[in-house]
C-alpha cells in the first residue's frame, strides 16, 4: 500500500490547455468535421470535463445501484448476481414450425421465449380472411385459434419458461388463448410468467398496428392490467415500448419521452379504473431500442430509470419501491441494419447489444444479420444469440455495475437526455395527455420530421453508413429463409376443419356474452375473452365482435 497519494502530474486547467495545447495542435491538425453529432443528430463536444457538470453531486445526482432513483441500475449487484435474460424474438410460418424453432432455442441456452406473430394475427384477422392474402406466416407465426396456440407451446412447460408475446391490437384475445393453454397444461396462475406487449399508444404513433379507435383500445389495455393484477402475479401485462417509436425514425430523446409519457397515461387510466398505484405499477415493464450510437443509448437507459423513479414517486405517490424501478427489455435496432454487406450487421448488433448491457437492461434480443432481407435463418439466429453470450462471458462488462457511471461524457449526456425528455413530457401534459396529443398528431409529426432529417443526413453523407453511402462493393446474395404459400393453404384448411368440428352453439353463446360485456364500459372483458377462446372461437370471430362494438380506426394519411 502506498504511503502517500500520488502528486498531481499537471496543473494545467482547461483554459490553459485550450490555449497552449489544443490551439497550436488544431492549427496543424484540423478536425475531420466542423460538427460532430450523435445518431439522433445532437451535437457532441470535443471533450467533457468536470466543467460540464457544474452542480453534479455524486450522492444527490447519481447515488447507488438498487437505490432511488436507480440511475446506475435497479439491482445492487446487477449482472454479478444474474445475467440478463437472453430472449430471442421469433416466429414464422405455422405453429408447428415455430414450435420446433422454440425447442431449438431452448436447447441452445435461450432463457425466455418471445413470440412473433404474423400480420393477420397482429391485426385480428383469421388466416383465411381476404385481407390476409400473402401475409400468412410471413413475418411471424400464424395463430388463428386456441388450437394453434396449443400447437405453438406443445411440449414446452409453461410453468418453467417465461413467454413474451408481441401483440397489441388484439393483445387481450391472444393472452386469453395463452392462459387457456396454461390451464390445459395444468399450470397454476401463480406460476404463469411472461409479458404481453399490449402497448396500444405506440401503435398510433409509430408501429400502426391498431384496430379499434384509441379510447376503447385504452380500455382493453386497462382491462388486462386490472385482470393481471388480480390473478397473474408474475405476468407483465404491458411492455411500454419505445422500440417501435425509434424504428419509425424518432430521436433517442423522443423515444424516451414518448415511451415514458405513454407509461404515465396507462398509470393514470388504471388508477381511474380503481386500482392503487402500488398494486399494479411493479408489474409495468418497458422496452427500448439499442441503436448505433453507443453513449447516446447508454445515457438513454440511465435517464429512463431516473425519470421513471421520480415520476412514480412524485407524480403518482408510489410508496412501494418496486413501483419506482424501471425494468426494461432491449432489442437492437432493426432499422440500423443494412441490406448491403449483411455480415457487417453482426458487428453493429454486437455494439448495440453492448450498449444495452452497459445501460443495465433486464433482457435482450439481438437481431440477426439477415433481417433486412428476410426472416432469419437458424444459423443467423445462432450468431445473434452467441453475440450476447460473448458479451456476458468474455467481454468483462458484466463484472461491475454501471461501468460508465461517473464518466463526464456519459453523465452529461444522461442529464441532457433527461432534460430533453422532460421538456417533451411537459409539452404533452399541456396538451392534455398522450391520448390527446396522439389525436392532435403531435408525436406522429415529431417522429416523421426526425426520420426525414436522418435520411437527409445520410444522403448528404453527413452520416456515413458503411456499405450504404461509403465503402460500397459488388456482392453476391446470401441465403435467406423463404416462407412458402403452403402455410396459408394449410392454415385455411385447419380453420375449415376447426369450424366444422367444434361445438358451434357454445361458440355463439360465448361470443354473445362477450358482446354484452364489451358494451358495458364498467365490465372487464378478460373473463369473457378466456371463455370465448376455450370454445375455439377464432381470433377473427372474437375480434369482429369487438370491431362491431368499438368500431375501427383509420389513420389520416398525412406525410
- In angstroms, what is the minimal distance from the CB of 513 to other proteins? 29
- In angstroms, what is the minimal distance from the CB of 452 to other proteins? 5
- In angstroms, what is the minimal distance from the CB of 250 to other proteins? 10
Instruction: Using alpha carbons only, give the angle 393, 98, 249 rounded to the nearest 5 degrees.
Output: 70
CB nearer other proteins, residue 295 or residue 454: 454
SS3 assignment, position 500? helix
Cβ–Cβ < 8 Å for 92, 85 = no
CB nearer other proteins, residue 139 or residue 549: 139
CB nearer other proteins, residue 30 or residue 556: 556
Reported as half-sphere exposure (CB side, CA atoms, 13 A), residue 79 has a value of: 27
The grid coordinates listed for 121 are 394475427
Cβ–Cβ < 8 Å for 120, 129 = yes
- In angstroms, what is the minimal distance from the CB of 559 to other proteins? 4
In terms of DSSP H, where are the helices of 404-525? 408-431, 434-440, 442-459, 486-501, 504-519
| Residues that bind other proteins in the complex, under the rule CB under 8 A | 119-120, 122-123, 125, 131-135, 138-139, 203, 207-209, 247-249, 335, 337-340, 372-375, 448, 451-452, 455, 458-459, 465, 467-469, 477, 480, 482-483, 554-559
Name 120's Cβ contacts closer than 8 Å, sequence gap at least 6: 126, 127, 129, 131, 132, 135, 136, 142, 144
- In angstroms, what is the minimal distance from the CB of 136 to other proteins? 9
Q: What CA–CA distance (Å, rounded) separates 14 from 29?
A: 19
Q: What is the dihedral of CA 62, 65, 69, 73, to 10 degrees?
A: 110
Helix (H) or strand (E) run with residue 165 in it: strand 163-166
CB nearer other proteins, residue 248 or residue 303: 248
- In angstroms, what is the minimal distance from the CB of 557 to other proteins? 3
Strands 285-290, 239-241: parallel, antiparallel or unpaired by DSSP?
A: parallel
CB nearer other proteins, residue 134 or residue 274: 134
- In angstroms, what is the minimal distance from the CB of 216 to other proteins? 19
CB nearer other proteins, residue 131 or residue 419: 131
CB nearer other proteins, residue 130 or residue 396: 130
- In angstroms, what is the minimal distance from the CB of 91 to other proteins? 13
Cβ–Cβ < 8 Å for 185, 177 = no
Please, which residues bridge with residue 441 across strands?
A: none
Cβ–Cβ < 8 Å for 30, 239 = no
The CA-to-CA distance between both ends of the chain, in Å, stands at: 66
- In angstroms, what is the minimal distance from the CB of 282 to other proteins? 31
- The DSSP code for 416 is H
377: number of Cβ within 10 Å? 18
CB nearer other proteins, residue 185 or residue 469: 469
- The DSSP code for 109 is T
- In angstroms, what is the minimal distance from the CB of 328 to other proteins? 23
CB nearer other proteins, residue 455 or residue 503: 455
Place of cell 413467454: 163
CB nearer other proteins, residue 77 or residue 455: 455
Amino acid at each position: 500500500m502506498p504511503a502517500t497519494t500520488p502528486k498531481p502530474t499537471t496543473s494545467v486547467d482547461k483554459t490553459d490547455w485550450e490555449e497552449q495545447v489544443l490551439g497550436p495542435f488544431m492549427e496543424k491538425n484540423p478536425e475531420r468535421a466542423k460538427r460532430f453529432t450523435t445518431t439522433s443528430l445532437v451535437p457532441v463536444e470535443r471533450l467533457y470535463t468536470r466543467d460540464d457538470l457544474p452542480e453534479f453531486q455524486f450522492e444527490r445526482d447519481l447515488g447507488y445501484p438498487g437505490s432511488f432513483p436507480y440511475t446506475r441500475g435497479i439491482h445492487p449487484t446487477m449482472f454479478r448476481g444474474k445475467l440478463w435474460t437472453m430472449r430471442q424474438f421469433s416466429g414464422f410460418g405455422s405453429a408447428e414450425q415455430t414450435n420446433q424453432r422454440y425447442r431449438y432455442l431452448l436447447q441452445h441456452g435461450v432463457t425466455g421465449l418471445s413470440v412473433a406473430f404474423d400480420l393477420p394475427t397482429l391485426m385480428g384477422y383469421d388466416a383465411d380472411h381476404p385481407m390476409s392474402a400473402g401475409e400468412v406466416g410471413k413475418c411471424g407465426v400464424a395463430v388463428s385459434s386456441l388450437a394453434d396456440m396449443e400447437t405453438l407451446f406443445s411440449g414446452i412447460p409453461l410453468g418453467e419458461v417465461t413467454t413474451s408475446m408481441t401483440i397489441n391490437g388484439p393483445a387481450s384475445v391472444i393472452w386469453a388463448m395463452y392462459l387457456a393453454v396454461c390451464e390445459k397444461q395444468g399450470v397454476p396462475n401463480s406460476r404463469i410468467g411472461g409479458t404481453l406487449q399490449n402497448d396500444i399508444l405506440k401503435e398510433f404513433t409509430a408501429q400502426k398496428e391498431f384496430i379499434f379507435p384509441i379510447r376503447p383500445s385504452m380500455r382493453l389495455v386497462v382491462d388486462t392490467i386490472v385482470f393481471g393484477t388480480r390473478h397473474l402475479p408474475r405476468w407483465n401485462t404491458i411492455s411500454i415500448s419505445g422500440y417501435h417509436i425509434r424504428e419509425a425514425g424518432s430521436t433517442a430523446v423522443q423515444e424516451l419521452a414518448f415511451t415514458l409519457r405513454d407509461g404515465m397515461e396507462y398509470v393514470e387510466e388504471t388508477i381511474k379504473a380503481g386500482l392503487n398505484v402500488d398494486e399494479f405499477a411493479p408489474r409495468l415493464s418497458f422496452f427500448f431500442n439499442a441503436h448505433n450510437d453507443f453513449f447516446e443509448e447508454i445515457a438513454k437507459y440511465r435517464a429512463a430509470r431516473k425519470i421513471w423513479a421520480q415520476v412514480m414517486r412524485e407524480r403518482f405517490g408510489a410508496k412501494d419501491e418496486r413501483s419506482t424501478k424501471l425494468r426494461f427489455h432491449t432489442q437492437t435496432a432493426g432499422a440500423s441494419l443494412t441490406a448491403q454487406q449483411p455480415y457487417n450487421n453482426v458487428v453493429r448488433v454486437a455494439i448495440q447489444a453492448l450498449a444495452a448491457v452497459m445501460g443495465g437492461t433486464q433482457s435482450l434480443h439481438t437481431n440477426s444479420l439477415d433481417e433486412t432481407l428476410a426472416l432469419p435463418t437458424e444459423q443467423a439466429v445462432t450468431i445473434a444469440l452467441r453475440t450476447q453470450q460473448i458479451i456476458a462471458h468474455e467481454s468483462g462488462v458484466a463484472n461491475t455495475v454501471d461501468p460508465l457511471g461517473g464518466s463526464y461524457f456519459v453523465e452529461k449526456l444522461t442529464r441532457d437526455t433527461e432534460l430533453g425528455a422532460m421538456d417533451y413530457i411537459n409539452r404533452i401534459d399541456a396538451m392534455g395527455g398522450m391520448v390527446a396529443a396522439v389525436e392532435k398528431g403531435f408525436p406522429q409529426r415529431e417522429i416523421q420530421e426526425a426520420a426525414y432529417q436522418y435520411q437527409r443526413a445520410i444522403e448528404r453523407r453527413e452520416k456515413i453508413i458503411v456499405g450504404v453511402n461509403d465503402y460500397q462493393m459488388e456482392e453476391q446474395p446470401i441465403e435467406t429463409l423463404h416462407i412458402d404459400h403452403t402455410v396459408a393453404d394449410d392454415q385455411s384448411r385447419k380453420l375449415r376443419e376447426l369450424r366444422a368440428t367444434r361445438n358451434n352453439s357454445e361458440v355463439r353463446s360465448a361470443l354473445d356474452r362477450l358482446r354484452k360485456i364489451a358494451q358495458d364500459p364498467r365490465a372487464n372483458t378478460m373473463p369473457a375473452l378466456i371463455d370465448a377462446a376455450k370454445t375455439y372461437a377464432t381470433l377473427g370471430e372474437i375480434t369482429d365482435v369487438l370491431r362491431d362494438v368499438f368500431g375501427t380506426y383509420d389513420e389520416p394519411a398525412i406525410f
